Amino acid sequence: MKTFEEIFKAAPTVMAEAPGRVNLLGEHTDYNGGYVLPTAISQKTCVLLHPNKRKSFRLYAATLDEIVSFTMETPPKKHFASYIYGCLHEVKAIGADIPFMDIYVHSTVPIEVGLSSSAALEVATLRALRILLQLPVEDIMIAKMAQRAEVKYAGVNCGIMDQMASSLADVEHMLFIDTRTLETEVLPLPADAEVLVIDSGISRTLAASKYNERRAECIVAAQQLGVEELRDITDPNLTNELPSPFRERARHVIKENNRVLAARKGISAVDFGQLMNASHTSLSQDYEVSIPELDLLVALLQKNKDVYGARLTGAGFGGACVALCKTGTVCNVSDAVLKLYNEAGNHGKRLVPAQELIAEQITTEQSATKIH
């Protein structure tokens, strides 16, 4: 992997990083004003900056080995750069004077599997800009700015969970988030439990279009129930009179919110796993965002004696599954489950814990040591 110095012929001035995340409970609730329960993963995105003397920004993505140039008035032509372009505009919107600069991005967060690689990129970029420009913005504001950047400039009508998790979560705890009030609470993971994430090997080809479709269905369901958002209802039986598919969509959101609130109280790993299992059933049957491969992978995980519970994570229609396993068993569980899953003609792989923290990360860290 090429270093910052090799690309830009200078040393970076600042470095910042942000983690990806996996959502343990609370899927498709954040854009309904509801509750979520993510945790950070060990893989991170690192952004290095250095003001240049040019009349444009230069952005190099190490993972893609691509470089693009742009200005604030001329958006970048590559979509991956639109996330950073949006962050620059959000910083400009709060009155900051932004110099032209060279931007270097390196990431070990898996992309397009539901682990929030885009949010990690946005938060890392904003953290680096906060350091460089001495911005008076705290972590929740960073999350808000990151979400706006993704919605307005990357064209993804996302909720705020991913950015909040990347900005505030850590790998040793769960982060309860009320996505309406942005109240947060750091909670311990269930005792004697570890998190396992497995990629189904299926790209999320329908996730974007179906995501927007589900959002629209939830808005209609809330209107039919006479509330601002589905978060305002706690009794799933109130959905019984709704026509399909609004009945099923609302029922999932209401029950999912209730599951997160139950987990927030502090429950055993066994009980937490049961909530995860129920969540997947709901996502598959009521919200209809699963596919046969995800259902198979979850079923294999749930049958393993060392797994408390499992479910798809992320938007669905491909991507990853998350499982809560007995401490010390995640490698054995993933090996056993992936053997069966891949024997069926699939191409799954373990993502968390990472098979390895990519050796290229060392190069980035070496560059970081040269920052003045």
- Number of neighbours of residue 336 by Cβ within 10 angstroms: 18
Half-sphere exposure of 350 (CA within 13 A, CB side): 20
For every residue of 92-113, DSSP letters joined together read HHTT--PPPEEEEEEE-SPSSS
Rounded-to-integer distance, Cα 357 and Cα 117, Å? 15
Q: Convert 226-256 to b/e letters by CB count within 10 Å (16 or more is b).
A: eeebbbebeebeebeebeebbbbbbbbbbbb
Strand partners, 326: 193
Beta-carbon count within 10 A of 183 CB? 10
SS3 347: coil
Backbone angles phi, psi at 101, to 5 degrees: -155, 165
Give me the sheet containing 193-199, strands edge to edge: 307-313, 320-326, 193-199, 349-352
Closest CA to 121 of 157, 167, 89, 159: 167
Work out the angle between the directed axes of helices 246-264 and 207-225 (0-180°, nearest 10): 90
Binning the chain into helix, strand and coil, the percentages to the nearest 5 are 45, 20, 35
Q: Which of 30, 162, 178, 286 is the catalytic position?
A: 162
- Identity at 111, one-letter amino acid code: I
Establish whether 162 is a catalytic residue. yes
Rounded Cα distance, 303 and 306, in Å = 9
Could you list the active site residues? 162
